[in-house]
């Protein structure tokens, strides 16, 4: 499987179709596997949060969720062909599951969001097998009950929408107990899927400005994430460029 190294972070250089095919192989293997996505903000956060860095870099599959990751990889001459966004991958897996019979469990978002999303998916895909769905707000005392419910439900795919870094750390903490063949953190994808958050037009996505479109919808909540995250990402890239230039001069 083609995998590149972007400043110490592995990224699977796969197309959407190849990513889905790889996930099918992981599911069929039957043992637990973790998937992670990276974008500019998460990439910068990883450099400050060593636990998150370790979790992402040891994931079984890592996809470039942000266009900035694709551009950075290409700048350093790394063969990363395209972006594989979390929301698009989730949608592709839902469509696949309606045909293959994979069992799905949705965990996260606010009360009612996941349920509304599941209802919408079932209308689009009548054969879809959703065996579990609940919001992501529960106490530490309830945590084991949630984990037990997921394990007993025995899904093939678990989507976790808790935001970064909470979802990555939660998945890593409970991976063995969950016993799910494929677990994926999807951030705010439930809100996008249900329509409470608008998805950017395709031309904005291709221009690498989907983050700005998202920011304009919730500026008070997202300004720190995108302002400091994107600036930090740029500094990381510039620092590496200067390091490489200095090395060449020597």
Residue-range domain boundaries for the chain: 3-249
As a whole number of angstroms, the distance between CA 96 and CA 220 comes to 36
Q: Which residues, at least 6 apart from 24, have a Cβ–Cβ distance to it below 8 Å?
A: 96, 100
Looking at residue 211, its pLDDT comes to 65
Q: How confident is the model at residue 212 (pLDDT cuts 50, 70, 90)?
A: low
Q: What are phi and psi of 102, to 5 degrees?
A: -60, 140
Q: Which residue has the higher pLDDT, 112 or 213?
A: 112
As a whole number of angstroms, the distance between CA 177 and CA 32 comes to 10
In this prediction the pTM is 0.89
Q: ∠ CA(38), CA(93), CA(70), 5° rounding?
A: 30
Q: Render pLDDT for 48-105 as a digit per residue (tens, 0 to 9).
A: 999 999 999 999 999 999 888 998 999 899 999 899 999 999 999 999 999 999 999 9
Report the 10 Å Cβ neighbour count for 209.
15
77-110: b or e for each residue (b if 16 or more CB lie within 10 Å)?
Answer: eeebeebbbbbbbbbbbbebbbeeebbbbbbbbe
Distance CA 43, CA 64 (A): 10
- The answer for residues whose C-beta is within 8 angstroms of residue 109's C-beta and 6 or more apart is 117, 135, 136, 161, 188, 190, 191
The predicted pLDDT at position 139 comes to 87
Q: What is the pLDDT of residue 236?
A: 86
Confidence label for 32 from pLDDT (cuts 50, 70 and 90): very high
Is-contact 109 190, C-beta < 8 A? yes
| pLDDT mean over 20-41 | 96
pLDDT grade for 237, boundaries at 50, 70 and 90: confident
140: its two tokens: 């530490």
Q: Quote the pLDDT of residue 224.
A: 64
- When pLDDT is averaged across residues 92-120 and rounded to a whole number, the result is 95
Query: pLDDT grade, residue 240 (50/70/90)?
Result: confident
Rounded CA-CA distance 65/187 in Å is 11
């Amino acid at each position: 499987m083609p995998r590149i190294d972007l400043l110490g972070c592995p990224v699977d250089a796969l197309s959407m179709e190849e990513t889905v095919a790889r996930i099918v192989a992981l599911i069929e293997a039957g043992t637990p596997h973790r998937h992670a996505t990276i974008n500019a903000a998460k990439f910068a956060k990883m450099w400050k949060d060593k636990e998150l860095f370790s979790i992402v870099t040891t994931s079984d599959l890592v996809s470039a969720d942000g266009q900035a990751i694709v551009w950075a990889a290409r700048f350093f001459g790394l063969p990363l062909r395209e972006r594989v966004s979390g929301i698009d991958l989730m949608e592709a897996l839902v469509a696949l599951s309606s045909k293959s019979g994979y069992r799905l469990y949705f965990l996260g978002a606010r009360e009612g969001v996941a349920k509304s999303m599941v209802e919408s998916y079932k209308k689009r895909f009548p054969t879809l097998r959703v065996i579990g769905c609940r919001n992501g707000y529960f106490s530490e005392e309830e945590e084991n009950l949630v984990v037990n419910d997921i394990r007993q439900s025995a899904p093939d795919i678990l989507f976790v929408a808790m935001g970064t870094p909470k979802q990555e750390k939660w998945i890593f903490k409970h991976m063995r107990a969950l016993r799910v063949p494929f677990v994926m953190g999807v951030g705010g994808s439930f809100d996008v899927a249900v329509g409470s958050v608008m998805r950017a037009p395709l031309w904005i996505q291709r221009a690498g400005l989907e983050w700005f479109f998202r920011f304009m919808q919730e500026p008070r909540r997202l300004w720190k994430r995108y302002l400091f995250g994107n600036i930090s990402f740029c500094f990381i890239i510039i620092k590496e460029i200067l390091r490489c230039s200095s090395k060449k001069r020597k």
